[in-house]
């Protein structure tokens, strides 16, 4: 992998990640852009104890442009985009309309390929590995920012999810706090460790799932399963078999196997509802240990946390979505229409030949 860092016309950082070491990236952003002004503010809820990012400037962000005006495609002649060069493998840049900025963290966009009509599942294995390397590098770089406590790499896919740009891409949020879901995991981790005299909860869950009926696919270094208490109609958790706290902890063997396993998982997701159905909308979310102090979680260290990816869709059946209505949105209690055992069975049925 070759990494080349540059600046866009308004001062935002852009980083090219290339498969070839001899690739030269010297294109200049020719757009007459003014410096980006953001109004991002993080407010803490005193009753729930969580945080809300208030970012009113995002109301003006780009919304479903036609394909020939996509800001994530390479620049072409006088059609100038967020990527100055005429081609790229993988590119990461600071979001022009960030939810988090300055002392409130940072938001980046990750373009998986220059092919506007592709999806992550269409990538070759070496390209998917390059994305993994980019996620890892960004996690490392962002972890050193004073305002950052946790790094979250994710992909929203599909208009049903709320995606406003059709080009295959993901995002990275660098939060100035430990996110609520991670805090819940850390509390459960601490309680289990105390109750069992030191057993790791992530290890116990993985061992139990691998011995059960909800395994979707398994490699030498990775395992994917539908969790016992899945929140979403089709939800898969992907774990490295050797527990590591973040993407930086993966060894070469796990990195090498990841593209094959993950691409197969994504391709199965697109076959859940049968031939002729539109692409399955999904969210793919990496869970990594926070880089901040963990004193509030008694006896837990970063090394106790287990890196894993959660992949899920809001489509519950053909043509129907799972809406977060009263119980889910009002009380945080999910009601799942698809038994996890049936979801796992379906994901095994659609395995590629």
Enumerate the active-site residues: 169
Residues whose CB is less than 8 angstroms from the CB of residue 47 and which lie 6 or more positions away in sequence, other chains included:
none
In this structure, what token pair is assigned to residue 48? 């729930």
Q: Quick check: 344 and 225 in contact, CB under 8 A?
A: yes
Rounded CA-CA distance 85/297 in Å is: 46
Beta bridge partners of 79: 76
Nearest-angstrom CA–CA distance, 13 and 228: 42
Query: Phi then psi for 130, rounded to 5 degrees?
Result: -65, -40
Q: Dihedral of CA 285/212/341/349: which sign?
A: positive
Q: Which structure tokens are listed for 63? A: 């919304």
Q: Of how many residues is the chain composed? A: 353
- State how far the Cα of 91 lies from the Cα of 214, in Å rounded to an integer: 36
Judge contact between 308 and 258, C-beta under 8 A: no
- C-alpha torsion angle, residues 313, 316, 320, 324 (rounded to 10): -70
């Amino acid at each position: 992998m070759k990494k080349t860092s540059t600046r866009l016309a308004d001062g935002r950082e852009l980083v090219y990640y290339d498969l070839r070491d001899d690739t030269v990236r010297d294109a200049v952003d020719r757009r007459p852009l003014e410096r980006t002004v953001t109004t991002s503010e993080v407010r803490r809820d005193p009753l729930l104890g969580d945080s809300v990012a208030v970012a009113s400037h995002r109301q003006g962000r780009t919304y479903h442009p036609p394909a020939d005006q996509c800001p994530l495609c390479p620049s072409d002649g006088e059609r100038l985009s967020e990527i100055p060069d005429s081609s790229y493998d993988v590119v990461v840049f600071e979001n022009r309309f960030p939810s988090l900025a300055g002392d409130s963290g940072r938001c980046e966009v990750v373009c998986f390929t220059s092919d506007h009509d592709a999806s992550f599942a269409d990538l070759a294995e070496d390209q998917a590995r390059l994305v993994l390397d980019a996620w890892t590098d960004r996690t490392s770089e962002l972890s050193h920012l004073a305002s950052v406590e946790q790094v979250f790499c994710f992909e929203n896919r599909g208009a049903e999810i709320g995606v406003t740009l059709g080009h295959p891409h993901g995002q990275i949020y660098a939060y100035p706090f430990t996110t609520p879901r991670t805090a819940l995991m850390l509390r459960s981790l601490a309680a289990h460790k105390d109750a069992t005299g030191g057993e790791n909860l992530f290890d116990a869950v993985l061992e139990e799932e691998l011995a059960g009926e909800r395994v979707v696919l398994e490699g030498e270094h990775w395992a994917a399963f539908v969790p016992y208490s899945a929140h979403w109609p089709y939800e898969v958790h992907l774990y490295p078999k050797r527990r590591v706290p973040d993407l930086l902890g993966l060894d070469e063997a796990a990195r090498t196997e990841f593209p094959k396993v993950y691409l197969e998982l994504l391709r199965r997701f697109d076959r859940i509802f049968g031939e002729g159905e539109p692409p399955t909308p999904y969210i793919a979310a990496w869970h990594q240990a926070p880089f901040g102090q963990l004193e509030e979680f008694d006896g837990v260290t970063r090394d106790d946390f287990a890196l894993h990816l959660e992949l899920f869709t809001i489509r519950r059946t053909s043509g129907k979505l799972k809406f977060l209505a009263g119980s889910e949105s009002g009380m945080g209690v999910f009601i799942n229409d698809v038994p996890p055992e049936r979801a796992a069975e379906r994901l095994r049925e659609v395995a590629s030949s």
